[in-house]
Amino acid sequence: MRPQSIVMFERLFLASLAGSVVGFALTYDEVVDSLASDPAMQEVGLGSGFVLGVTAASFAIYLLLWHLIAHKAANFAKWILVVFTALGVLMTVPSLAGPWDAIQLLSLAVYALQIAAVVYLFRADAVAWLKGDRPTDPSAFD
């Protein structure tokens, strides 16, 4: 049975991914228009398919990390997620000075959920579980 911290990680992390999907859907047209107006991207021929492909690959990586952490107790995946989260937060810091709109607030909420999820991975029960220390079920000896 998974520890409570892992269950909370899973809930918070999946909520952050759901928020990311909403944010992507809300900004898709803007991102594609921005890409289409960039002469360098026009020269290479990258368009909406590229945006969808990169986004799908990103979500696939995050879903793989979620599965490895929450269901396979892969400690290495925890550290990859920690690095990704730290890089994401560092890349978001400059945008805090810009105008605040609904997308900005959604992005901050997504990062807050992701940070909270990662924090749960450092609680004692999650650390033990990810190291492979699983408590024995006492009913197994009955």
DSSP per-residue codes, 24-92: HHHHHHHHHHHHHH-HHHHHHT--HHHHHHHHHHHHHHHHHHHHHHHTT--HHHHHHHHHHHHHHHHHH
Kindly report whether the global pTM for this prediction surpasses the value 0.95: no
The model's pLDDT over 54-91, given as tens digits with 9 standing for 90+, comes to: 999 999 999 999 999 999 999 999 999 999 999 999 99
